[in-house]
Amino acid sequence: MRVLVIGAGILGASTAYHLALKGVKVDVVDEEHQGKATLAGAGIVCPWATKADEPEWYEMYAAGARFYDELITGLVARGETSLGYRKVGALVVAEDPGEFEAAEQRVRERTKAAPEAGKVSRLTPAEARALFPPLRDGLPAIHISGAARVDARLLAAAMLRAAISLGATYRRDNVSLAMRDGGLLTLGSSGQQLHADEIVVTAGAWASRILQPLGLHHPVQPQKGQIVHLSLPGVATAQWPVLLPMGSHYLLAFDDSRVVIGATREDNSGFDYRVTAAGQHEVLSAGLSIAPGLANATHIETRIGFRPAAPTIRPILGRVPGLPGLTIGNGLGASGLTVGPFAGKCLADLVSGQPLDRSLNPYSPQGLTPTA
């Protein structure tokens, strides 16, 4: 079997890596678009605090976090050391006491069946600030010791290197799909045909363009995210926990005295690759309101990524009805860095005919039946 994976973000890289582990011949093609979500993403692996209450989707979300231990162990065994992943714990905070109590109840209930979440404890404001010094005074926190942070670009690159070491090939190119004699035809930018028994499209926010010539209306749209990177020179930030206020913004720190505040969620943005005054203001205002100790930090950069946003919270994962040999993985949105590696393994199992750890039936691209 030869499989072509189109798109090498965190989902595509995981798909390629897990196919290569099975001995499948894998070709990976990526256009390396400016604004690819994986290149901008600084992620938090902590599904137990999310407000998402759809049971089926939450279980998938939690499975993504559970899978990380297996993933990291396997990559390290293959000699990969630059993974951008570390379990640093999380602090869940809320300004409203009622919301804080509800969050604690939700976390404690969910972590009963999740040993990977580690220990859950309530911290006083002083204890919380001792772990994350810029935090505003007076905020108690729920501490989840097993939560982690991940640098998406490093992890995706590590999985891709591991796939290549197992025999996969990679190249940068613009791929197009077409129908010929009732079958799928894949062409590179120079017009050469790319031969594959199976095609997996994991091209994120750009997948709609690739699938459109097949008569498929793919509902995933780009959701623009602006994410601010700050520096605290001389401050040891490597062990700081991720910070989760009860909203869409978050903070996390990396090893190089870097603190990240994210992120906007801009729908109907198209592929507008610009840092805007409004976006910068939104992110900094949200971050400094919860962590005023960052006010004197140095602004390093603001990254932009286009999340692949589906119409609902559920992603699109599975084979396309009516088009044998075509599989889609997309629509993970803001959950991509938690679910992406596990979803990639599921796609690899599906394409190679192996039993799945979790059914993908709830995420099947049923609405993508070709119109012609």
Distance CA 6, CA 9 (A): 10
pLDDT digits (tens, 9 = 90+) for 188-230: 999 899 999 999 999 999 999 999 999 898 999 999 999 999 9
2-39+153-220+312-368 and 87-146+221-309: same fold? Answer: no
Reported in sequence order, the residue ranges of 193-340 that DSSP labels E, i.e. its strands, are 198-201, 221-231, 242-245, 250-254, 258-262, 298-309, 316-319, 326-330
What percent of the chain is modeled with pLDDT above 70?
Answer: 98
Query: Which residues contact residue 79 at a Cβ distance below 8 angstroms, ignoring those fewer than 6 apart?
Result: none
Assess contact for 32 and 173: CB atoms under 8 A. no
pLDDT digits (tens, 9 = 90+) for 11-65: 999 999 999 999 999 999 999 888 888 778 788 999 999 988 888 999 999 999 9
pTM score, two decimals?
A: 0.95
Which segment, 45-54, 86-95, 308-317, is predicted with the most confidence on average?
86-95
Assess contact for 56 and 317: CB atoms under 8 A. no
- Asked if the bond preceding 263 is cis, omega within 30° of 0, the reply is yes
Confidence of residue 368 (pLDDT cuts 50, 70, 90): low
Kindly list the domain boundaries of the chain, sorted by start residue: 2-39+153-220+312-368, 87-146+221-309
CA distances from 179 to 162, 187, 195, 211 (A): 33, 11, 14, 11
CATH fold of the domain at 2-39+153-220+312-368: FAD/NAD(P)-binding domain (3.50.50)
CATH fold of the domain at 87-146+221-309: D-Amino Acid Oxidase; Chain A, domain 2 (3.30.9)
